[in-house]
Chains A and B, each alone.
Chain A
Amino acid sequence: MNNPSSTFSRRDWLRTASAGFGYMAFAGLASESAARDSAGPLAIKAPHFPARAKRVIFLCMRGGPPHMETFDPKPALTARHGEQGRNKNCNLLGSRWAFQKHGQSGTEIVELLPETAKLADKLCVLRGMHTENENHPQALEQLHTGSFQFVRPSLGAWAVYGLGTENQDLPGFISINPLTALGGARYYSSAFLPAACSATMLGNASQHPKELKLGDLTNPRVTPASQRAQLDLLQSMNRDLLARTADPRVEGLIESYELAFRMQGEMPRVMDLSAENPQTLEMYGADKPETQTFGKQCLLARRFAEAGVRFIEITHTDWDFHGGLTGGMKRNCHQIDKPIAGLLQDLDQRGLLRETLVLWGGEFGRTPEDPTTDGRGHNNKGFCMWMAGGGVKGGHVFGATDELGYEAVEGKIHVHDLHATMLHLLGLDHERLTYRYGGRDFRLTDVKGNVVREIIA
């Protein structure tokens, strides 16, 4: 057929694929590229090259944890504590907490994270992180989407777009306790990618961090049996229409209702932690009041990972210590330490860690100096994150900030580089994973990004 629009437009793509359902029937009829895409965004797709990681768990520390008080010790800062910093109203503030070397690798970790420290040999600490913006919303947006100026798809959406997902009864991208205030939804959106790539959000960090639920997942009025009866009626109407019209859209709706119904069963099942034994709950700290919120979320992440979800994110707030650093750090570290250690151990024991990339970190770091009496400013020029599992070197420290922790000076990794590396570990070439929108090919890393090969095992 002589199709006058030679470029495969976004709309064509939407019509053949993004709907996610229904175009199977016509796959044989459409062009080859349409046929390739017609399985829909959630269907499993082959990576560009063999993947080191099948999935990602991103532990997002919203607010900007201080690198010099977590994974990037600064003895010079401690030594010069109290001297004037770069800003004339600020004095240098040394870490109140000591660092020890851990594991065979001797990775230095702050004493506030004793449980995580036991797994030092699993961690690949990235001390040379940097990003462009020092405001939370922009930096968080860039961390998630690569851009803070434009609405772009989230990292998780790109992963699902590139690889599909392993469990057709669950969404491919789940964000636990997401930030929804102040434009937060953009951090998890599919933007111009097919809508099925966007995150399904559980709970809401802006409202009730403890309550995790998916909107409209259940109908409290009906028993599953009577809802099934209702659905059977609905689907018989839909099938009649399909028979009359042979409309793939109708077929898509039929499949979508079935998936929704399956999700009603599968989501609560995966989210039901009561099946876990007490030892597991203990391992995650899910049995203690201070650690149970994050602990349960980490456990949930493992369950989603096990169930085949491609990208899982958990948000922990709030690390924005302009004041109250001493108390806040103790509290936050305690809240995350045991759960994270539990997650890594549990993944490892189940053989999942080697194929699951775990990423920890916030949108930026903090300044070595103190504009208040017990706090630190924002620092986008140097901070740290760590990865574990999924094909990265364990017990490895890469990059460095200067001796006081102001700026990354060695092994610098921009957020674009981080994204390129994560996609690489998932078997995706960040320069080839593109999506045509508004007349141009977009990618997660825009025109930037280098794979940090030094950290790959």
Chain B
Amino acid sequence: MLFSSVNRSLLRVAAWFCVLPALEISAGETATQKLAFFESKIRPVLVEKCYGCHSAEAKAKGKLKGGLYLDTREGLLAGGDTGPAIIAGNPSKSLVIQAIRHASEDVAMPPRGEKLSDAVIADFALWIKDGAADPRDGAAPVAKKRGLSLEEGRKLWSLIAPKPTLQKAERGTRSAEKTDIDRLVRAKLEEQHLAPVAEADARSLVRRLTFDLVGLPPSPEEVEQFVREVAEDKERGREGEGEKNTKSEVSLSPSLPLSLSSPQAGKALEALVDRLLASPRFGERWGRHWLDAARYADSNGRDRNIMNYHAWRYRDYVIEAFNRDKPYDQFVREQIAGDLMPAKDPAEQDEQRIATAFLALGSKAFEEFKPEVFRMDVIDEQIEVIGRSVLGLSIGCARCHDHKFDPIPTADYYALAGILRSTQPLYGWGPRGIKASTYLHTEWQPIGPEAEKLAPAALDYYRRLDAEILSLHTARSTRYGVQRRLSSAKLEMEKSAAKKEKLTAEIARMEGEMKEWDVKIRGMEAGVESLKDAAPPEPGWTMAARDREKIEDCRIHIRGDTTNLGNPVPRGMLQVIALSDVPAPDAKQSGRWQLAQWLTHRDNPLTARVFVNRVWQKLFGRALVTTLDDFGVNGAKPSHPELLDELAVRFMEHGWSVKQLIRELVLTRTYRLSTDANAENLARDPDNVFLWRMSPRPVEAEALRDAILAVSGQLDPNPPTSQFLDRYHSRRDAELSTFKPFLTSADLVDNHRSVYLPVVRGALPEIFQVFDFAAPERPVAQREESIVPAQSLYLMNNPWVIEQAAQTARRLLADSGDADAERIARLYLLAFARPPLPEETSRAQAFLAGNDVLLPVAISKTARPASGPREARWTSFCQSIFAAAEFRVIR
């Protein structure tokens, strides 16, 4: 309430006046008098009001709050999480005073309506002003900095540069049985007394490889070809089998135990791997993994779901980068600072600019009306994505305080923030037609041969469009104001006859005004509409980032508060990874180029490790460091530190080639192990930490959808030639203001690979929602793996699934020459990459012979009902195949 708050602050001022004379006296007081003051006025309050949560006793009871001890002098001076509790001699800078005054909600103490009286607050202020005499001895138990110091931090395993585990001479003694990687894995297994299981059969392996490398099931022809090659080889090379296959589980005939000790079989496998790595589908699979980490999305999300119209160029850039095996260090540099890198031609320059969309794709609080808060939030998001995706560190914690665990002081956060503060992300337009938010508008980056020629007029057009929409909105709200005044005048007229004459004139005037506005607004609406239709020729656009005109250091934001600024911090990198040959940015540079170099420096201990660990997780199910984006103090320790280091070093030595890394990993014996469990190993290492088998993994959302489409024959394997969103939504309406059903059902009408479906934050296609797609709001290192009834319901009842099953049935039945047994075999090959066992064939035949009635209900608008009970029954069978565990798991 206004008055009471005024009164309260008056009181406070009054209290200060009362205090002043006392202060003068106190200067001459003896130490004894000061201590007496403490004993009579301060200690009782501390004991009664504060010790409950801020004392050794509270700690013992598990009730300590904020790491703050107020029961010792030392504790008071050292303070808790938010810094020293008092600064002797300076009450207004002492946190205790701010807290007991309830200066802000965050630090109001004691909490919840137990505010101390103004007199007590004045006592505390006086006591601190007077030097905060405090006789209480005793060390504060743990009131000290909790994070690692920089020195300690540099000793953390992940911050020591990886060293090659194997000596040069030891390397490359690769045989099909024991690659270098296998030797390192084997060493751990032996240490743990675990014996690896046998290798997978050829069919499982070809299915596993095809899903892992390109995200699709192998075609029956591909399966058969591989099996033939290996089988032919087996005839010749049986005597070469070194390992004894100890298959403990029921063997699946007609599977072929695959032992690649013979050179021909090894060649067949290498040929398969090389073919998959060379396929354009490879980038679609592995690019998507990076898009998870890069929190890629086609819209902003949150409350103003602005479309990221040109984000797809970044998506395609990522896919292309993996297909062309762009060295990972270059890939990272381009995303951080591509616009600042030299380019051999304009096309390369455009590509590098597109890469910087990485910095612009974050979900932004467009409803934030404080420009500084908005700006720092954008920067925070950028720091988070760089930290988690590239470095495997959560740097964001240091926004408000020194990192509680990792060696990242707040100053480092603001050193990075300065770089990004000097960078303008180009995400396009914020919400249109809101005056207060015009500061949110940015441009897009024009690209293509005509960029320079066309961009000025096109950008000008967008600004004009914006201005017109804004004036239209302003006009509408002005008219609304008149309307309100008019209606209250009419109300008043009913009440008081006295003012009738005056009011009548008033009403008439306002009615006239309303009419004028109506005409004006209609004109403006028409203007906006025609402007929307009159776009000038546009260049290509991309989201991007570029240096701002004003390059500046960022000041420390005390407790992250934009209004509480400390000293500026020179732009720079994390101190804990000091790389002397990365120069500091000069006054004209944002520092992004230096940041890019620092991130991808050979001596940066994190970047290569973090990436090879991600790749390992995708291929083996369990990462070597299970906290993929936390390599800090709280992260997991590597299960195989030597292996991780060896992989990181090799990756860098091999020019950061992702394809070579993947090739090396999938050609290990470790990768070829079957998923069979054996009870003894399972008891000792249930999580397969030591890689005694291959871990079975779920088929992810996109791969599941693509696989269903591949089996039904409906998949369009080529990239789409136009963008889904462009087909449904005009780029000139920036915002998705309402829920659009077409978005969540995009998966139903588009048969391209799932990576090309729109990723609209808050409106993901249903199959993505149900099957644990990476939530695109934040960087995701590893997806959820859930098994929930909604997934079962989807596969049992979803019309799209049933439609795909029907398509499959038709596809199989179309070959009228085939007997049912052959059709069943074909379906098993398509879906499981293996022929059925005899008992499976007879079970399927028995099901197909069943005669219960399928209801003739159309399953979707486009679907055609089954032509008869036979097709219906086949549909039901095909659907069971899609729902089968064997279809949903990579083994």
Q: A residues touching B (Cβ–Cβ < 8 Å)?
A: 1-7, 9-12, 14-15, 18-22, 26, 29-30, 86, 128, 132, 135, 137-138, 151, 171, 180-186, 194-196, 200, 206-207, 214-223, 225-227, 229-231, 233-234, 236-238, 240-247, 249-250, 252-254, 256-257, 259-261, 263-264, 372-373, 402-404, 406-407, 409-414, 417, 438-440, 447, 450
Which chain A positions have C-beta within 8 A of B886? 237-238, 241
Cross-chain contact B797 with A29 (CB below 8 angstroms): no
Chain B: CB-nearest residue to A231 = B796
CB of A233 within 8 A of CB of B853, answer no
For this complex, 24 residue pairs linking A to B, each with C-beta atoms less than 8 Å apart, are: A1-B684, A1-B685, A7-B634, A11-B782, A19-B786, A20-B786, A21-B787, A196-B788, A206-B739, A217-B793, A223-B855, A225-B852, A233-B844, A233-B880, A238-B886, A247-B675, A250-B889, A253-B888, A256-B787, A256-B792, A263-B793, A372-B484, A411-B112, A439-B394
A4 touches B301 (CB 8 A): no
Report chain B residues within 8 Å CB of A260: 789-790, 792-793, 796
B787 and A253 contacting across the interface, CB-CB below 8 Å: yes
For residue B857, CB closer than 8 A to chain A, the reply is yes
Task: Give the 7 A-B residue pairs with the shortest CB-CB distance, closest first.
Answer: A260-B792, A195-B786, A439-B634, A5-B636, A402-B1, A439-B630, A260-B789
How many residues of chain B are within 8 Å of chain A by beta carbon? 97
Q: Does B627 make an interface contact (CB < 8 A)?
A: yes
Q: Is the CB of A15 within 8 A of B891?
A: no
Q: A245-B891, A247-B675 are in contact. Are A206 and B796 (CB under 8 A)?
A: no
B683 at interface (Cβ–Cβ under 8 A)? yes
Residues on B with C-beta less than 8 A from A227 are: 796
Contact B796 A226 (CB under 8 A): no
Using Cβ atoms and an 8 Å threshold, which residues of chain A touch B250?
Answer: 243-244
Interface core residue of A4, A19, A181, A450 (most chain B CB under 10 Å):
A4
Report the separation of the CA atoms of residues A440 and B303 in the bound assembly, to the nearest whole angstrom: 27
Contact A263 B789 (CB under 8 A): yes
B843 contacts across to A, CB distance below 8 A: 233, 236
Q: Which residues of A sit under 8 angstroms from B4, Cβ to Cβ?
A: 402, 409
Determine if B529 is an interface residue (Cβ-Cβ < 8 Å): no
User: Are A11 and B626 in contact (CB-based, < 8 A)?
Assistant: yes
**Contact present for B880 and A234 (CB under 8 Å):** yes
B113 sits at the interface (CB 8 A): yes
Q: Give chain B residues whose Cβ lies under 8 Å from the Cβ of A182.
A: 302-303, 305, 739, 762
Do B885 and A244 touch (CB < 8 A)? Answer: no
B685:A219 contact, CB within 8 angstroms = no
A411 adjacent to B113 (CB under 8 Å): yes
- Give the residue name and chain of the B residue nearest to A431 (CB): B62
Q: Which of A19, A220, A231, A409 contacts B787 (CB under 8 A)?
A: A19
By a CB distance below 8 angstroms, the chain B residues around A404 are 1
Which residues of chain A are near B685, meaning CB under 8 Å?
Answer: 1
Per-residue 0/1 for B270-299: is the Cβ within 8 Å of any A Cβ (1 yes, 0 no)? Answer: 000000000000000000000000000000
Known A226-B876, A233-B843: A14·B789 in contact at CB below 8 Å = no
Within the complex, the shortest CB–CB distance from B452 to chain A, in Å, comes to: 38
From A132, A181, A229, A440, contact of B847 by CB (8 A): A229
When the two chains form the complex, which single residue of A256, A373, A411, A417 contacts B789, counting CB atoms closer than 8 Å? A256
| Contacting pair B639 A5 (CB below 8 A) | yes
Chain B residue with Cβ nearest A219: B797
| A237-B880 in contact (CB<8A) | yes
Closest CB in chain B relative to A457 CB, distance in Å: 20
Contact A4 B857 (CB under 8 A): no
Residues 658-698 of B, flagged 1 when their CB comes within 8 A of A and 0 if not, give 00000000000000000111000011111101000000101
- Stretch of B419-427, B586-594, B772-780 on the interface side: B772-780
- Least CB distance, A340 to chain B, in whole angstroms: 28
With A216-B793, A373-B487, A438-B630 in contact, is A254–B885 under 8 Å at CB? Answer: yes
Besides A29-B686, A86-B2, A128-B113, 12 new A-B residue pairs in contact (Cβ under 8 A), listed by A number? A151-B778, A182-B303, A217-B797, A221-B855, A226-B852, A230-B880, A240-B840, A249-B696, A253-B885, A261-B792, A261-B796, A450-B112
A18, A185, A222: the one contacting B876 at CB < 8 Å is A222
Q: Which residue of B lies closest to A382 (CB)?
A: B1
Is B252 an interface position by the 8 A CB rule?
yes
How far is A261 from B789 in the complex, measured between Cα atoms in Å? 9
- Produce 1/0 per residue, B24-57, CB < 8 A to A: 0000000000000000000000000000000000
B residues touching A (Cβ–Cβ < 8 Å)? 1-2, 4, 66, 105, 111-113, 192, 249-250, 252, 301-303, 305, 367, 394, 405, 484, 487-488, 491, 622-623, 626-627, 629-630, 632, 634-639, 675-677, 682-687, 689, 696, 698, 738-739, 741, 761-762, 766, 772, 775, 777-778, 782, 784-794, 796-798, 802, 840, 843-844, 847, 850, 852-855, 857, 859, 872, 876-877, 879-880, 883-886, 888-889, 891
CB distance from B886 to the nearest CB of A (A): 5
Which residues of chain A are near B683, meaning CB under 8 Å? 29
Interface Cβ pair total, 8 Å cutoff:
251
Is there an interface contact between A250 and B885, defined as CB atoms closer than 8 Å?
A: yes
A412 engages B855 (CB within 8 Å): no
* A118 CA / B626 CA spacing, docked (Å): 57
* Contact partners of B859 in chain A: CB under 8 A: 220-221
How far, in whole Å, are A253 and B796 apart by their CA atoms in the complex? 13
Known: A1-B684, A19-B785, A259-B792. A244 touches B252 (CB 8 A): yes
| CB of A283 to closest CB in B, whole Å | 32
A21 to B792, CA, bound (A): 13
Cα–Cα, bound, A150→B885 (Å): 35
Contact at B885–A238, with CB atoms within 8 Å?
A: yes
Contact of A219 among B802, B872, B880 (CB under 8 A): B802
Q: How far is the CA of A412 from the CA of B879 in the complex (A)?
A: 56
Residues of chain A lying within 8 A (CB to CB) of residue B105: 132, 414
Which of A30, A137, A409, A438 lies at the interface centre, i.e. has the most chain B CB atoms within 10 A of its CB? A438
Residues of B within 8 A of A417 (CB): 112
Q: What is the CB-to-nearest-CB distance from B533 to chain A, in angstroms, rounded to a whole number? A: 28
CB contacts (< 8 Å) of B687 on chain A: these are 3, 12, 15
A409 to B2, CA, bound (A): 12
Contact B802 A221 (CB under 8 A): yes
- Could you tell me the distance in whole angstroms from the C-beta of A56 to the nearest C-beta in chain B? 21
Docked CA distance A7–B2 (Å):
52
Contact between chains at B797 and A206 (CB < 8 Å): no
Q: Are A257 and B847 in contact (CB under 8 A)?
A: no
Identify B634's interface contact among A245, A263, A440, CB under 8 A: A440
Residues on the A chain within 8 Å of B111, using CB: 450
Given known contacts A86-B2, A373-B487, is B854 in contact with A234 (CB within 8 Å)?
Answer: no
CB distance from B228 to the nearest CB of A (A): 24
Residue of A6, A250, A409, A447 most packed against chain B (CB within 10 A): A250
Name the CB-closest residue of B to A86.
B2
Residues of A within 8 A of B880 (CB): 230, 233-234, 237
Contact A230 B785, CB 8 Å, known A11-B622, A206-B738, A438-B630: no
Interface centre among B394, B698, B785, B798 (most CB of A within 10 A): B785
Would A249 and B885 be within 8 Å (CB), given that A5-B637, A151-B777 are in contact? Answer: yes
CB distance from B114 to the nearest CB of A (A): 10
Query: CA separation between A33 and B370, bound complex, in Å?
Result: 46
Contact assessment for B766 and A215 in the assembled complex, using a CB-CB cutoff below 8 Å = yes
Please tell me if the beta carbons of B303 and A207 are within 8 angstroms of each other in the complex: no
A29 to B685, CA, bound (A): 9
Residues of A within 8 A of B847 (CB): 229, 233
A9 contacts B792, C-beta separation under 8 Å: no
Contact of B1 among A22, A234, A403 (CB under 8 A): A403
In Å, the complex CA distance between A238 and B793 comes to 16
**Residues of A close to B855: CB separation below 8 A:** 220-223
Q: Is the CB of B793 within 8 A of A4?
A: no
Name which of B739, B785, B789, B791 has the most chain A CB atoms within 10 A of its CB: B789
A198–B635 Cα distance when bound, in Å, is 26
State the CA gap A234–B840 with chains docked (Å). 11
Check if A5 sits within 8 Å of B853, measured CB to CB: no
